[in-house]
């Protein structure tokens, strides 16, 4: 199976596992607090390739606009500011919803966030961490980090070419990686679940 198909399958396994929990979610279209202030939108390199490929289909002006927003995101994150996602449209909907990364897929809240952190079932958090571990395992020559940092790396033709060619050379990005909290997927210890996946009554945080 192609790695991107494996990624899609991992997304859908997660969706199936948390579908009972999400039934009580307060999320609705246009509610985008989680795309602006909550935490990090981190991605794996494989997800970065999927996003980059989508950006290639944007018309020139839009592509340039998104690139400017990603540069701004990168500068803001470097200063420790929670950045508004570059793919959030003016109407607070997602420009790349169908291919959004897992960081966005894992988030829901049973209470409207309104300046607060999302309220998520404890098992869903564990399932999400387990899912990230699976994504990192199938992206064994890749990295994880803030979306603007991973896309910045992938914009460098040498890095992209080496990654797509299956080469693994973390030394080449060591300085950038250290300064930007980049995770080397291969060195992350795989996670397992502490409960069996037959969902019982949901537990809240």
**Angle between the N-to-C axes of helices 3-22 and 45-56, in degrees from 0 to 180, rounded to the nearest 10:** 100
Please list, in sequence order, all residues whose beta carbon lies within 8 angstroms of the beta carbon of residue 124, skipping any fewer than 6 positions away: 18, 21, 106, 108
Task: Considering the complex, state which of residue 4 and residue 104 has its C-beta at the smaller distance from ligand SF4.
Answer: 104
Compute the least distance from the CB of residue 91 to ligand SF4, in Å. 11
Q: Which of 30, 4, 34 is nearest to 164 (CA)?
A: 4
**165 three-class SS:** coil
Report the nearest approach of ligand SF4 to the CB of residue 34 (Å): 3
CB of 14 to ligand SF4, least distance (A): 15
Specify the residue, 65 or 161, whose C-beta has the smaller distance to ligand SF4.
Answer: 65
- 70 burial level (CB within 10 Å; 0-12, 13-18, 19+): buried
Nearer to ligand SF4 (CB atom), residue 22 or residue 156? 22
Q: For residues 61-100, which are near ligand SF4 according to CB under 6 A?
A: 85, 87-88, 94, 96, 100
Binders of ligand SF4 among 6-45, rule CB under 6 A?
26-27, 31, 33-35, 41
Helix or strand or coil: residue 183? strand
Which residues have C-beta within 8 Å of that of residue 69, sequence separation ≥ 6? 86
In three-state secondary structure terms, 121 is strand
Q: How far apart are CA 82 and CA 71, in angstroms?
A: 14
Task: Kindly state the smallest distance separating residue 128's Cβ from ligand SF4, in Å.
Answer: 13
Tokens coding 85: 């996602």
Determine which residue in the list 104, 138, 162, 183 makes contact with ligand SF4, applying CB under 6 A.
104
Q: Closer CB to ligand SF4, residue 38 or residue 182?
A: 38
| 55 in contact with ligand SF4 (CB under 6 A) | no
Q: Of the listed pieces 71-79, 102-110, 132-140, 184-192, which binds ligand SF4 according to CB under 6 A?
A: 102-110
- Per-residue binding letters, 114-153, with ligand SF4 (x by CB under 6 A): ----x-----------------------------------
Phi-psi region of 183 (alpha: psi -120 to 50; beta: other; left: phi over 0): beta
Residues in touch with ligand SF4 (CB under 6 A):
26-27, 31, 33-35, 41, 85, 87-88, 94, 96, 100, 104, 107-109, 112-113, 118
């Amino acid at each position: 199976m192609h790695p991107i198909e494996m990624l899609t399958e991992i997304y859908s396994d997660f969706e199936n596992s948390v579908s009972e929990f999400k039934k009580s979610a307060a999320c609705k279209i246009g509610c985008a607090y989680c795309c602006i202030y909550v935490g990090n939108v981190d991605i794996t390199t494989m997800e970065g390739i999927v996003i980059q490929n989508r950006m290639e289909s944007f018309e020139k002006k839009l592509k340039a606009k998104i690139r400017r927003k990603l540069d701004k995101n990168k500068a803001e994150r470097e200063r420790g500011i929670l950045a508004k996602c570059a793919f959030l449209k003016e109407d607070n909907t997602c420009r790349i919803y169908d291919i959004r990364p897992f960081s966005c897929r894992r988030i829901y809240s049973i209470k409207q966030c309104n300046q607060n952190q999302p309220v998520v079932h404890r098992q869903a958090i564990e399932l999400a961490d387990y899912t990230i571990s699976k994504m990192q395992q199938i992206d064994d020559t890749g990295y994880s980090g803030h979306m603007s940092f991973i896309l910045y790396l992938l914009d460098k033709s040498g890095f992209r070419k080496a990654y797509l060619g299956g080469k693994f050379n973390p030394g080449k990005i060591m300085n950038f990686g250290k300064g930007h909290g980049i995770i080397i997927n291969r060195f992350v210890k795989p996670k397992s679940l502490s409960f069996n996946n037959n969902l019982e009554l949901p537990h809240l945080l």
